[in-house]
Amino acid sequence: MTEPTDSKTRTITAWVAQLIAAGILGMASFMKLTSSADSVALFTTLGVEPWGRWAVGLWELITVVLLLRARTARLGGILGAVLMVGAVGAHLTKLGIAYQGDPSLFVMALVALSATVTVILLRRSREPVGTAVS
């Protein structure tokens, strides 16, 4: 009898995680695709300006669209998690945790990574492994 409540809680939590991830990635995509000075400087530091900035910005935009639909949210979570693992890796290896003295980009990458992993876990199929779907 607790399944409906658990299902509702799971759905609400998934949507909150999806909106958090989409918000962070949407903002980041906008900054990259509009060539903000901060994004240009960051990707110049990484040595992949402008093509890397454009590629990541488009990837983020596609991810946001996928996250905003329940049917495609899990795929969006996977794409977002891969992006955020890359962002965290870039901070740990080349940019530093406090890029230009400010750790907020690193913190946002960790929050987005946590949100996307939550989406992946909560939007997984509830069918038992090996069950064929007709």
Q: Which residue has the tokens 């639909």?
A: 69
102 falls within a domain: yes
- CA separation for the pair 134, 62 (Å, rounded): 29
Tell me the mean pLDDT in the region 54-78: 98
| Structural domain that includes position 19 | 7-122
Residue 20 above 50 pLDDT?
yes
Counting the structural domains of the chain, the total is: 1
The answer to whether position 87 is within a domain reads yes
Q: Is residue 131 part of a domain?
A: no
Q: What does the pLDDT read at residue 1?
A: 43
In a domain, residue 91? The reply is yes
Q: 68-125: per-residue pLDDT in tens? A: 999 999 999 999 999 999 999 999 999 999 999 999 999 999 999 999 999 999 998 7
Task: Give domain status of residue 27, yes or no.
Answer: yes
- Contact present, 54 and 32 (Cβ < 8 Å): yes
Prediction pTM value: 0.89
Read off the DSSP letter of residue 72: G
Q: Is residue 127 part of a domain?
A: no
Q: Does 40 fall in a domain? A: yes
What does residue 102 show for φ and ψ, rounded to 5 degrees? -125, 115
Distance between CA 90 and CA 7 in Å, rounded?
A: 37
* Structure-block tokens of residue 81: 């998690």
